[in-house]
Structure 1
Amino acid sequence: MVFETLTSPASQDWASLLDRMFARCEGAYSDITLRGYRVDLESFADWCVRNGQEFLPASPAGVAAYVDNLLERYAYSTIRRRIAAIQFAHRLSDLSSPVGSSDVYLAMRRAGRTKRRRPKQVKGLTADLLEKILEGCPETLSGLRDAALISVGYDTLCRSAELSWMEVEHVDLEEGTVYIPRAKNDPFGDGRIAGLSERTVGLVRKWIRKAGIKGGPLFRGLHAAKLGKGFLETSSIRRLIKAAAKRVGLGDAAKELSGHSMRVGGAQDLMTAGYDTLAIMTAGGWKDVEVVARYVEKASLVRLGVHRPAIQKSSRSRT
């Protein structure tokens, strides 16, 4: 199916075009992915309107100019994401993408040399922080939920979205395992199994019993101390982690924690404990070794520092 092209974006017809485009994508992509693409494409379309550029199909020169404009305000990772959205729109419209052109290639090279390409790393919620946070969670409904969620996140190295999608039926408390049916890098639902520590099993059991949950979403929102029916939003996961950290006096650390912190901290602790990169990738469902390497970079340096004196001593003994 070929969509009509928009050579006069000032008409604002791009909004209805995006409606039809994303309606086709339902079921093929996650809602989170589609929302992200939509936001990025709306930004590009708005820029096209204000600058008299074609939106779809976009010209190589126009996209290159857009990249140069983004350089003034956005990080390199954001620019890459916006360009990926433009490529997505052309592919879904059966149009030739301008992203592969030399104009856009050179614009992205300029962006990479101008902007810091290294993504900002969130603070890892490592075992020492985990202990403090769990000890500070009260025996209330919200406290039990928060403790169970944070502990599950640390054990399973789950992303916040994976924690949000988790259901009671996915957890086997007798076996101490949880089934993670889908992930950001697992769009077709191959899934993976992750283990839970004895303490985490106990925390999950207490939460389920206190909340009276029989099935459906495992972690839910609370409204006026009453349990919600739907899945807990990822934004809520980020807030509850920060709140739990502040509760035990981790003010500065709390500012740096996010819904991704359990995944980062768990990976760092595995590295420090001596597990290799392949084992960590398997534990967290990673498919890109570079991402894992960046997560555990600091932990690997710490481990290297611990072993370096022994290495140096051994080298001197041979000379």
Structure 2
Amino acid sequence: EIWAIRAVHRATGMPDPTVARSVTNLIGKVITTQALDERFIKQAQALNYEAISILVKKWRLSGNLAERRNLAYIVAAYDGLFRYAEISNIKLDHIKPQDNGTLQVVLPITKTNHSGDADVVVLSATTRQVIEEYMQLGRFNYKPQNKNDYLFKGVSGWGSSLKDSGKPLAHNSVITMLNSAYKVIYSGIDEDELPRKYTAHSMRVGAAQDMFKRGVELARIIKAGRWSNESMPIRYGRGHIADGATSEILDSLL
């Protein structure tokens, strides 16, 4: 995404290639062409509370490390309304366990925050439990020597150990993860009744819709999702706008 390219270059002190006139002109032409062809961005298929409930039942006690990592990733992405670029870049140094059982996550790079101050997201005690169960099975912890490790890592082909590549979890790995979740959630459903496949933003969409259904105020949803205005959450919540936020929803899960 353009915002991610811009944020990374600025954070590293490199020139921002997106401000070049040739680049902005090209982006404008692409957007105009898509609009004229009526090719609009489709909303991601929602991965919501009900779907997560199924995954918890199927994966939480699994001895398969990939399934436990997948569950932790999906629950965290839902609870924090994380974008792919946010959750994939979380390192252990960004996580601070709190005395009340929650996890505080500092996001160094976000799409809408240009203040220079990192965003802080608090994940529920339920999410912390799922994450730490995955960490225990993966044999890593919050010790200082691990601070530069990414929270979510690749898993070996045998599914028995984590791969420390020193890089964020790749987007195609996340899609593979979500395809696995999709098969579990929609097992037994006729093919012609299946919804669209999940995308990296499906948990974010599902969380926003669930909050609308629970009657959460729009201002809280905007804040939770770190949106700069109400247009996108309203689009996500269309058809679901009816107290609690995602943490309150998830705390009834386990």
Task: Give the TM-score, by structure 1 length.
Answer: 0.59
Residue 68 (structure 2) aligns with: 144
Deviation per CA, 1:161-216, whole angstroms, max 9, x where unpaired?
A: 21110112222333413222211233665322222222211111111112122421
Output the CA distance in 1 between the equivalents of 2:39 and 2:218: 23
Q: CA deviation at 1:241?
A: 1.4
Q: Decide whether the 8 Å contact of 2:90 with 2:107 is kept in 1.
A: yes
The 1:293–1:249 alpha-carbon spacing in structure 2 relative to 1, beyond 3 Å, is: closer
Q: SS where residue 172 of structure 1 aligns?
A: strand
Q: Which residue of 2 aligns with 1:202?
A: 129
**Aligned partner letter, 2:178:** I
Q: Which has the higher contact order (CA 8 A, sep 6+)?
A: 2
Per the alignment, residue 246 of structure 1 pairs with: 183
Aligned-residue RMSD, C-alpha = 3.0
Aligned-partner Cα distance in 2 for 1:26–1:283: 23
Q: How many residues align?
A: 213
| SS of 1:218 mapped into structure 2 | coil
CA contact under 8 A between 1:221 and 1:228: conserved in structure 2? Answer: yes
Give 1:274's aligned residue. Answer: 215
> Is the contact between residue 133 and residue 245 of structure 1 (CA under 8 Å) also seen in structure 2?
no
Give CA deviations for 1:238-279 in whole Å, capped at 9, x if unaligned: 220121220343466574211110001001111111112211
Structure of higher CA gyration radius: 1
For 1:171 and 1:222, locate their aligned partners in 2 and report how far apart those are by CA, in whole Å: 21
Instruction: Tell me how far apart the structure 2 counterparts of residues 286 and 26 of structure 1 sit (CA, whole Å).
Output: 19
Q: CA separation of 1:26/1:184 partners in 2, compared to 1, >3 Å: closer, same or farther?
A: closer
Distance, in Å, in 1 between the alignment partners of 2:110 and 2:8 is: 17
2:88 maps to 1:164 = yes
- Which secondary structure state, in structure 2, belongs to the residue aligned with residue 128 of structure 1? helix
Whole-angstrom CA distance in 2 between matches of 1:98 and 1:182: 26
Please state which structure has a larger fraction of its residues in helix.
1
Equivalent residue runs for 1:56-135 within 5 Å = 88-90=19-21, 112=35, 114-116=36-38, 118-135=40-57
Q: Any stretches of 5+ residues in structure 2 without a counterpart?
A: 1-6, 243-254
The answer for the alignment partner of 2:154 in structure 1 is 221
Q: Do 2:44 and 2:202's aligned partners in 1 also have CA atoms closer than 8 Å?
A: yes
Partner SS for 1:116: coil
Identity value in percent: 23
> Would the aligned equivalents of 1:162 and 1:182 in 2 still touch at CA under 8 Å?
yes
